[in-house]
Structure 1
Amino acid sequence: MQSSYFITGTDTNVGKTYIASALVKHFVRAGYQAVGMKPIASGCNLTPDGELLNDDVLALRAASNVSAPLDLINPYRFAPAIAPHIAAEQTGQDIDCTQIMQAYQHLATLADIVVVEGAGGFLVPLNAQHTIADLAVMLNIPIILVVGMRLGCINHALLTVEAIQARGLTLTGWVANQVDSEMPVFAENLVTLQQRIAAPCLGVVGWQQEASFSFS
């Protein structure tokens, strides 16, 4: 099996890293060489040896069974926990999607499966010209959408699905991840999304529950 998946979300803080890491673990358990990639990470901490490192990247590396250089797994690292394009501007950098593409292509030679986690939502800017959506188009790999199950998730999910489809990308499936422990009518919201999203629901993750997935 040689494949990759791009993980995007309906918003920031909807559990993209948790789901991406769980997907990497899922493929590792299935016997594949799998690695997680987070091209852009904001909110990095400075290590004692002067390296910027993000907790999301650590989670992806811990889930992977492929050893790869940090510059391939996480080409762009920023200390401010803000939108990527603003963090890049503040540090005098420019996010180059071509560099990300090259890092991904290298990773793809090292693993059977590469799970690429986006930043924020699908239309988050990366620079003056490009967004996460543009990066997804460049990579041209199947997308898995993480729906943060909370009030407003139906609109956010359906708009994101439209944006993915409008770019001719393949939505392999979506994951319902409950991020609000007191979300009202969770089951009813889930049914509504299942009725309106043509792609399969690959998993339903309750509040603080372990993720599991079903691929056809």
Structure 2
Amino acid sequence: MNTMLRQLYIAGIHTDVGKTHFSAAFCKAFSYTYFKLLQAGSPTDEQRVKELSPNTEILPSALTLRTAASPHIGRKYENLTYNGLHLKIPQSDKLLIELAGGIFTPLDDKHTFFDYILAHPRPAIVVGRYYLGCINHILLTLHAMQNMPILALVMLKDTKDTHRDEIDEFVRSYTKIPLVHIQSYTTQSLDSAANKLSCELTPYIQELL
């Protein structure tokens, strides 16, 4: 592919839905650089990406908190004062920007990650997974982001998923957003996962160019 999106956000419908897992595969598939806007706690998502995709370039987070909690709590415990809207995104091409938690997760004591992406607009991929209540979280997230360019909704598949087809059918019908899948993978199966992801996502990337 000769032309790519310069930068894009990876947003989640909730906490722990697989944003980092997806990000590592995406960076491998499309040769993107990985950047976590704000990291809270350890082990870090940068470390996880390095484990899954050792050859991916990783840039330091704009802000790292030691406390494994919502940033508005971590900043208080660590006695930090900052304006989250002023966090800097590197001026790099082919940069994947992973957000934290869901889009309304607090970024500081006054702002959420949603406020940040409104202030610093870029195309986005939304990541979700299958669980009771996921449809509600998917629809709320996509509704909030309806005026932003959304590349696709990517759902993380697991062998324990139930009613996956029915969930997909409803979400596709209701949102009209492209829905693709990524299977859980290991470092050893990264190449296969990345190749499948490239095949599924490339047409939607080209639509936004």
* Superposition TM-score, scaled by structure 2 size: 0.80
Question: How far off its partner does 1:65 sit?
Answer: 4.4
* Mapped contact 2:46–2:58 kept (Cα < 8 A): no
Question: 2:157 is matched with which residue: 161, 169, 178?
Answer: 178
Structure 2 counterpart SS, 1:205: strand
**Identity across aligned pairs (percent)?**
24
* Mapped contact 1:37–1:60 kept (Cα < 8 A): no
Q: CA RMSD in A?
A: 2.2
* Mapped contact 2:84–2:108 kept (Cα < 8 A): no
* Mapped contact 1:35–1:61 kept (Cα < 8 A): no
Alpha-carbon deviations, 1:138-194, whole Å to 9, x = none? 2210011001211211111001100111xx321121101136x43321111111112
Q: Who is 2:116 aligned against?
A: 135
Equivalent pairs, count: 188
Structure 2's unaligned 5+ residue stretches are: 187-192, 204-209
* Superposition TM-score, scaled by structure 1 size: 0.78
Structure 1 counterpart SS, 2:122: coil
The yes-or-no answer on 1:80 pairing with 2:67 is yes
The yes-or-no answer on 1:195 pairing with 2:195 is no
* Mapped contact 1:145–1:175 kept (Cα < 8 A): yes
* Mapped contact 1:37–1:116 kept (Cα < 8 A): yes
Q: Who is 1:10 aligned against?
A: 13
Q: Who is 1:57 aligned against?
A: 46
Structure 1 counterpart SS, 2:127: strand
Q: Who is 1:41 aligned against?
A: 39
Question: How far off its partner does 1:6 sit?
Answer: 0.4
Structure 2 counterpart SS, 1:124: coil
Question: How far off its partner does 1:11 sit?
Answer: 0.6
Question: How far off its partner does 1:67 sit?
Answer: 6.2
- Shift >3 Å, 4+ stretches: 59-68, 206-212
CA distance in 2, matches of 1:174, 1:127: 27
Question: How far off its partner does 1:5 sit?
Answer: 1.1
Question: 1:157 is matched with which residue: 134, 138, 148?
Answer: 138
CA distance in 1, matches of 2:76, 2:125: 29
Structure 2 counterpart SS, 1:125: coil
* Mapped contact 1:44–1:77 kept (Cα < 8 A): no
The yes-or-no answer on 1:90 pairing with 2:88 is no
| 1:59 maps to amino acid | R
Question: How far off its partner does 1:99 sit?
Answer: 4.0
The 5-angstrom pairing of residues 21-32 of structure 1 reads: 21-28=24-31
